[in-house]
Amino acid sequence: MILYPDAMADSVDDIPWKDLYDRGYRGVIFDIDNTLVPHGAPADEHAIEFFKMLRETGFDTCLISNNKEKRVTPFAENVGSKAVWKANKPSRKNYLYACKLMKTTAQNTLFVGDQLFTDVWGANRAGIKSILVSPIDKKEEIQIVLKRYLERPIMYFYNRKKDRADKLF
């Protein structure tokens, strides 16, 4: 199903980055809010060190967000990543544009985000392997809270298919 992630992790720290690099992945596209930091928070020391580790491993990165430039650009500059703002997720266009910025392909790029209906759906539509992480902060805007309710039945059926779970790891 197009809304199912290819893998799930509790956080970005639980993803086996070195193994994925060894398997040929070269680019990683990230959502920002509630994937890397709580909603609206600036890049913290953990995020800065995390992106440094990814670069040292050999990955290029790009942030894509439906948020505005004033939110996305400072975050990207602080972590040393490329970025696309007002990405109109789940449209596949800016997922593929992120690949172009990183000089990668959909086949050797991963996407990491915390929402099914924007993040995972868009990555899957673009042919990019998707990793769903647990939201960092449980306190969310009302429109996201409503989406979380809609995600529950999808995740129920996803989790029943054990052979689908974490096929990237």
- Find the distance separating the first CA and the last CA of the chain, reported in whole Å: 19
Complete domains list, the chain, with CATH:
7-131 (3.40.50.1000)
- How does pLDDT run across 53-77, given as a tens digit for each residue? 999 999 999 999 999 999 999 999 9
Residue 135 backbone dihedrals phi, psi, to 5 degrees: -60, 140
Counting beta carbons within 10 angstroms of the beta carbon of residue 49, is it exposed (0 to 12), middle (13 to 18) or buried (19 or more)?
exposed
Structure tokens at 167: 């096929």
- How does pLDDT run across 133-169, given as a tens digit for each residue? 999 877 656 666 566 667 777 777 777 765 555 566 6
Q: Residue 85: name the closest of 101, 70, 66, 104 by CA.
A: 66
pTM of the model: 0.86
Strands 109-113 and 60-64: unpaired
3-state helix, strand, coil in the chain (%, to 5): 45, 15, 40
In one-letter notation, the amino acid at residue 54 is L
pLDDT at 112: 98
